[in-house]
Amino acid sequence: MSGGRGARRGVRGVLSLAVALCVGVPVGATAQQADVRANLAARGLPPALVDGVVAIVTDAASQGLPTVPLADKALEGWAKRAEPQRILQVVQQFAGRMGEARLAVRAAGMASPPGDVITAAAEALGRGMNAGQLGSIVRVNRQGGRLAPGLRVAAALSAQGMRMDQAVAVVSGAMRRGRSSDQILDMPSIMRAMQAQGFDAPEIGRRMTSGDGDHGEGEMGGHMPPPPHRTGGDGPEGSVSSPRGGA
């Protein structure tokens, strides 16, 4: 008798688990879509546009792609008063690029890239990095800790005027030498400072690739220009810098 009761209890447990999974997982996905829908509607996007974006987001979620950047892209387009059709095109294009980026990252040996890596890789592809260059950064850092910052910095250095292959070599080299995410994130500022002091992009890339310019301890030495002025103190909190524009 007690054995039969135990078996029934076991069956009941398995059934409860199955019900919880059947209900819980779709509810999670639906809740995510509801959040996106509510967020877009709260910013005043018309219902038809919201529906279109949510459809793309749902499809991306079903493929395991990040959804937040898609909603953000829609909000950006709406804030800039782009045509709804154009907004949907851009969001769809970014979703497709995230899919390509994930394939490229996987092909380079990272089986399950996290969302921030997929997003950074997609943006890098959009700025002219090819799958081979992307893969060469991934292969240096398959564990992923510095991967998203590395991809973003390589893309930024390229946008600052460095050739993409050189930017990729600079970032890969810094990772290989054990530079931290923080040090890698400083590179665009370093490049900016060196440009202001008259160095051209290839020369900056050469110095950074050889380890002179990635501000590793003791590496700036006599090869580097005088250290740039850093505003607002050196603390992680309280540093004030000044992007300045003009109208």
Give the integer Cα–Cα distance in Å for 22 and 56: 23
Q: How far apart are CA 56 and CA 204, in angstroms?
A: 41
**Does residue number 27 form part of the binding site for another protein (CB under 8 A)?**
no
CB of 12 to another protein, least distance (A): 12
Judged by CB under 8 A, the residue of 41, 55, 82, 131 near another protein is 82
Amino acid at 109: G
Select 135 or 179, whichever has its Cβ closest to another protein: 179
In 3D space, the residue among 120, 125, 199 whose CA is nearest the CA of residue 161 turns out to be 199
Ramachandran angles phi, psi of 122, nearest 5°: -65, -40
Q: Is 170 exposed, middle or buried (0-12, 13-18, 19+ CB in 10 A)?
A: buried
Question: Does 187 interact with another protein (rule: CB under 8 A)?
Answer: yes
Site track 28-67 with another protein (rule: CB under 8 A), x = hit: -x--x----------x----------------xxxxxxxx
Contacts with another protein in 96-115 (CB under 8 A)? 111-112, 114-115
How many residues touch another protein under the rule CB under 8 A: the total is 83
Kindly indicate which of the ranges 132-140, 171-179, 185-193, 201-209 contains the residues binding another protein, using the contact rule CB under 8 A: 185-193
CB of 79 to another protein, least distance (A): 4
Sign, CA torsion 193/134/75/184: negative
CA distance 146 to 150: 6
CA 179 vs CA 16, 75, 147, 172, 212: distances in Å: 49, 35, 12, 10, 13
From candidates 7, 11, 15, 20, binder to another protein by CB under 8 A: 20
Q: Residue from 26, 38, 76, 177 that binds another protein (CB under 8 A)?
A: 76
Question: What mask, x for binding another protein by CB under 8 A, covers residues 196 to 235?
Answer: xx------------------------------xxxxxxxx
**Quick one: 20 exposed, middle or buried, by C-beta within 10 A (0-12, 13-18, 19+)?**
exposed
Q: Residue 232 corresponds to which amino acid? A: G
- Under a CB-based contact definition with an 8 Å cutoff, are residues 95 and 127 in contact? no
* Contact region with another protein (CB under 8 A), list: 84-92, 132-140, 169-177, 202-210: 84-92
* 205 in Cβ contact with 166 (< 8 Å): yes
Closer residue to another protein, CB minimum distance, 3 or 246: 246
Judged by CB under 8 A, which of 3, 178, 221, 246 binds another protein? 246
Within residues 122-141, the interface with another protein by CB under 8 A covers: 127
Q: Does 144 bind another protein (CB under 8 A)?
A: no
